[in-house]
Amino acid sequence: MAQSEPPGEPLVRTERHGRVLVVRMCRAHKRNAVDRRLAEALDAAFNTLEDDPELWAGVLTGSGGVFSAGSDLNAIGDYVTERGGEYGLIRRHRRKPLVAAVEGAALGGGMELVLACDLVVAASNAVFGLPEVRLGLVPTCAGLFRGPRALPVNLAREMVLTGDPVDAARAHAAGLVNRVTEEGGALAGALELAARVCENAPVAVQASLVAMDAWLSGADALGWRSTEEATRTVMASEDRHEGVAAFLDRRPPRWTGR
């Protein structure tokens, strides 16, 4: 039986720190895995960030010592919102800088949430990974093209093809992470970085972000088409069914290559 949400607990909490909006995922009992309800709550929070002229930057973080384990498998892909796309963020057109504050695991879709942010602050215990191949799946939320864009290509390939995660120190050395803090300090570090951004002229900051994103995302249409082709291939495979079954049964998968 699926575990129900704790009664009365919001799935997303928002806090205003001056010009900065903190968006906290609060589905810790599911390692902040994203389903329809969490996606809608995230979408609403990011709508507030974009639409409120008093807010100049945002911070996305998790709870329970985890950033996010990615997609809730029980959601079966039902986590796409009209304005933000997957998870309320992945395809969102943004003008305001967003900082990821990462404690613990950012895996699968959690890593893809990080890749959708503009700056990253990670605690020393943070780990980043795209483990989908271990389930006979592929990253579907832009990891296949944003990963090689944010990381050295061979490191991105290693993460996708082995499914092995990297720690905060390696992610920082590779350029994915802007700052590393002590454990428990990622949010404070992200707020400090966001506040530093907010010391500058918001029109100039937003125009600069839009210009950089326009250049960086120039090949995104091809990236999405390639991702959709890869997804169709694995969804038609026997290995995909075996990978998910093995994960749910907590046993090693028996791959057939079909």
Q: What is the pTM of this model?
A: 0.95
Residue ranges per structural domain of the chain: 12-249
Predicted pLDDT at 248: 87
Give the range among 3-12, 133-142, 167-176 with minimum mean pLDDT: 3-12
- Answer whether residue 32 shows pLDDT above 90: yes
Q: Which of these is catalytic: 50, 86, 103, 112?
A: 112
228 is catalytic: no
Per-residue 3-state assignment (H helix, E strand, C coil) for 225-245: HHHHHHHHHHHCCHHHHHHHH
Residue 15: active-site member = no
106 touches 130 (CB < 8 A): no
Residue 2: predicted pLDDT: 44
> Which listed CATH number (1.20.1050.10, 3.30.70.20, 3.90.226.10, 3.40.50.2000) goes with 12-249?
3.90.226.10
Among 132, 183, 199, 242, the active-site one is 132
Residue 118 pLDDT greater than 60, yes or no: yes
Alpha helical stretches, state H, the chain: 36-51, 109-115, 143-150, 153-162, 168-174, 186-198, 202-216, 220-235, 238-249
The contacts of residue 177 (CB under 8 Å, 6+ apart) are 102, 120, 121, 122, 126, 168, 171
Mean of per-residue pLDDT scores for the chain: 95
Question: How far apart are the C-alpha atoms of 52 and 36, rounded to whole Å?
Answer: 24
- Mean pLDDT of the 147-169 span: 98
